[in-house]
Amino acid sequence: MLEPPLQWDYLAVVDPLSFEAKSVPHGPSLIIGAVRAGRTRLIDNLTVDVPSLQTVGRG
C-alpha cells in the first residue's frame, strides 16, 4: 500500500527573532513548516511582513 506523498509535521507563523508563535500575525513574521516525504524530512521558511488589521482595507 502506498503512503500519502507528503505528511505535515508542522506549519506555523512565528516572530522572526524569538520564534514564539503568533496567534494573530502582524508585522515582520516568519512562516515555518516541515513535511515528510517518505523517510525524508523537508523544512522551509518564508519571511513575510503582515499588515496590521487596522491598515487592511485602507488605500
pLDDT of residue 11: 95
Most confident of 1-5, 23-27, 40-44, 53-57: 40-44
pTM for the whole thing? Answer: 0.74
**What value does the mean pLDDT take over residues 44-52?**
93
pLDDT, residue 47, reads 97
Sign of CA dihedral 23, 26, 30, 35: positive
Segment 17-47, tens digit of pLDDT: 999 999 988 999 999 999 999 889 999 999 9
pLDDT value, residue 52: 78
Domain map (residue ranges) of the chain: 7-50
Q: Which residue matches cell numbers 512565528?
A: 14
CATH pick for 7-50 out of 3.40.50.1110, 3.30.1300.10, 3.40.228.10, 3.60.15.10: 3.30.1300.10
